[in-house]
Amino acid sequence: MMVPPAVNLGIDIRVLAEAEGMAAQLAATEIGDYRDAETVLRFADDVDVITFDHEHVPQKILRQLVDRGVAVHPGPDALLYAQDKLLMREKLSELGLPVPIWARVRTEDELQRFLDDNGGRAVLKTPRGGYDGKGVRVVSAAHEATDWFAAVAESGSDDGLLVEELVEFRRELAQLAARRPSGDIVFWPVVESVQRDGVCAEVIAPAPASAGRVADVAAQIAGDVASGLGVTGVFAVELFETTDDRLLVNELAMRPHNSGHWTQDGSTTSQFEQHLRAVLDLPLGATGCTQPHTAMVNILGGPSVGTLTDRYADAMEIHPTVKIHNYGKDPRPGRKVGHVNAAGDDLDDVVYQARAAAAFFQD
């Protein structure tokens, strides 16, 4: 999704992709494994700056890139906190940022003690590799984590697992922001993000009833995260709005994020254009809304038969105002294969339009 703004701005973009797909149809694309140092280093020889659409490039390779003098944004020091949730929690606590009660647990006994101290239920997370609800489990007894402790022991790691209080929250919010290497930072309006089965289903921008304190606190947190962790590029801070009116940091994403897809059709500067500007250390674009309300609804799984494009005739006929984004991925249960944005004056209407249009692509 960085390709369209790169084309508009005349920026020569190259993509190192894992497999064939939309991105791989572009001339400058190379197919290769981001975990292979030789592949990544060779790819980097031809570019001015390296960035990512996920956080999984190994630290060792990132540091080799930096050692070679390649501009890497976000840099390895910042990405570390997006790669390891235990390090992230430690760092955020050290910075004094509001987080759920958490602990590193290495044994079932330690986990049980945390459960006993925190209402008998908690969220257990593997520090690395989690994504869209994977590597996350709600537990109410330590023996429910026997397999994960065994896996950690087998891996030879002494890291343990991350356990967090089960936060009582009213809703989930996300604060999208962008920061240049030279330090300037901009914030989009805070949004509400609706999760289903641990996966983002919808985003409402701006979050209803968020003007004032909520928006200010969310931006303040994101600003502290960015400067405290040295983030560059676009990043998202996922937040819990608790039932007792606090904002707690849930997760960090150091890249353009699903909670920011609404910006493609609802903000003066999309998160993808902004990310290009930020990693190139260009001045950042305006982050205001072009219309009062924008709704983003994910297309999860896709159609049971055929592809998304087979449904265009029907979806476009009934919903001429929505913007359809198709990732060109094969449909698969639960997979994010696209999203729909709708923007306008009336919140109920844009939510309806985006949901109804997205429904054409799922069955």
**Binding-site residue ranges for ATP:** 85, 125, 164-167, 172, 250-251
Size of the site for a second copy (CB under 8 A): 45
Rounded Cα distance, 64 and 54, in Å:
18
Provide the β-strand partners of residue 344. 293
- Taking CB under 8 A as the rule, does residue 12 contact a second copy? yes
- Taking CB under 8 A as the rule, does residue 39 contact a second copy? no
Q: Which of 32, 107, 224, 312 binds a second copy (CB under 8 A)?
A: 312
- Taking CB under 8 A as the rule, does residue 320 contact a second copy? yes
- Taking CB under 8 A as the rule, does residue 11 contact a second copy? yes
Answer whether the bond into residue 74 is a cis peptide, omega within 30°: yes
- Taking CB under 8 A as the rule, does residue 10 contact a second copy? yes
Rounded Cα distance, 185 and 181, in Å:
9
- Start-to-end C-alpha separation, the chain: 25
Residue 153, SS3 per DSSP = helix
Identify which range of 27-35, 82-90, 101-109, 220-228 contacts a second copy by CB under 8 A.
27-35
What sign has the CA pseudo-torsion 246, 93, 136, 20? positive
Smallest distance from a second copy to CB 268, Å:
6
Contacts of 97 (CB under 8 A, 6+ apart): 221, 224, 225, 228, 249
- Taking CB under 8 A as the rule, does residue 324 contact a second copy? yes
Contact criterion met (CB below 8 Å) for 174 and 257: yes
- Taking CB under 8 A as the rule, does residue 325 contact a second copy? yes
- Taking CB under 8 A as the rule, does residue 317 contact a second copy? yes
- Taking CB under 8 A as the rule, does residue 308 contact a second copy? yes
Element (H, E) at 84: none
Q: Which of 39, 107, 195, 291 binds a second copy (CB under 8 A)?
A: 291
Contact criterion met (CB below 8 Å) for 230 and 181: no
Q: Residue 126 or 341: which CB sits closer to a second copy?
A: 341
Rounded Cα distance, 65 and 50, in Å:
9
- Taking CB under 8 A as the rule, does residue 9 contact a second copy? yes
Q: Residue 150 or 286: which CB sits closer to a second copy?
A: 286
Per CB under 8 A, residues contacting a second copy are: 1, 3-5, 7-12, 22, 24-29, 264, 268-269, 277, 282-286, 288, 290-291, 308-309, 312-313, 316-317, 320-321, 323-328, 338, 343
